[in-house]
Amino acid sequence: MVKKLKKQYETPNEGWSEERIQREDQLVEEYGLKNKKEVYKAESMLRDLRREARKLVAQEDEEQNRNLINKAQSLGLVKDDAQLENILTLNTTDILDRRLQTAVNRKGYSDTVKEARQLVTHGHTEIDGKRVNIPGYLLTKEEEKKLEVELPEQEENKETEETEEQEETVDEPDETDEAEENESEEETTENEDNEEGGE
């Protein structure tokens, strides 16, 4: 029997809500998301963080508190001096702001978030030298510093330079060979002239 994989996100439990649908549509448009599933993934992650923070507030376990805060800090969700209460005040946009697609656009590599998505999915983005092509990948603060984007124009220029270098390395005609060819042509012409004069 094949084990059914658990869904990695929760969909809204409530029925039809115009306000919720409009908010989701706005997020999809603002962040250039493929569909609402990406909104639900961000909301599920946020829900898990809040749930854990609420549980730890009640338990008052200092070590676990610090671990959760460090996790949120490494993702750039809260500041260095944050407390559990700061995690409880996070919202969906805080999670979406940490996506690779958003970071590419924020750093000015693209004019729009949709263009940023194309750059990521087409393999133009690297983190610490490793290619990452998942727009929804959540960047840590350290990874964001190591983010590099090679724009299509730069790749085309590289290919052109390589082609030119290859053309330059092709064996060029030797000047000595050319001189010998010219001499033999001159001799042939002189012989033809002499033959015409003899006639």
Structural domain including 38 reads: 21-98
CA gyration radius for the chain?
32
Q: Does one domain contain both 116 and 158?
A: yes
The CATH number of the domain holding residue 125 is: 3.10.290.10
pLDDT at residue 13, rounded to an integer: 75
pLDDT at residue 167, rounded to an integer: 60
pLDDT at residue 73, rounded to an integer: 94
Asked if residue 109 is part of any domain, the answer here is yes
- Output the CA torsion 121→122→124→127 (10° steps): 40
Tokens of 86: 């700061």
**With a cut of 50, which residues of the chain have pLDDT below it?**
1, 171-173, 176, 194-199
Q: Does one domain contain both 75 and 131?
A: no
Total of domains in the chain: 2
Neighbours of 61 (CB within 10 A): 13
- Of 50, 29, 24, 26, whose CA–CA distance to 39 is shortest? 24
pLDDT at residue 194, rounded to an integer: 47
Q: Does one domain contain both 68 and 120?
A: no
**φ/ψ of residue 91, rounded to 5:** -130, 180
The model's pLDDT over 33-63, given as tens digits with 9 standing for 90+, comes to 999 999 999 999 999 999 999 999 888 788 9
Q: Are 9 and 91 in contact (CB under 8 A)?
A: no
Q: Does one domain contain both 93 and 31?
A: yes
Cα 57 to Cα 50: distance, rounded to the nearest angstrom: 10
pLDDT at residue 199, rounded to an integer: 46
Q: Give the chain's end-to-end CA distance (angstroms, integer).
A: 103
86, amino acid identity: N
Cα 101 to Cα 125: distance, rounded to the nearest angstrom: 10
pTM of the model: 0.71
pLDDT at residue 154, rounded to an integer: 64
Residue with tokens 């727009």: 135
Q: Does one domain contain both 131 and 159?
A: yes
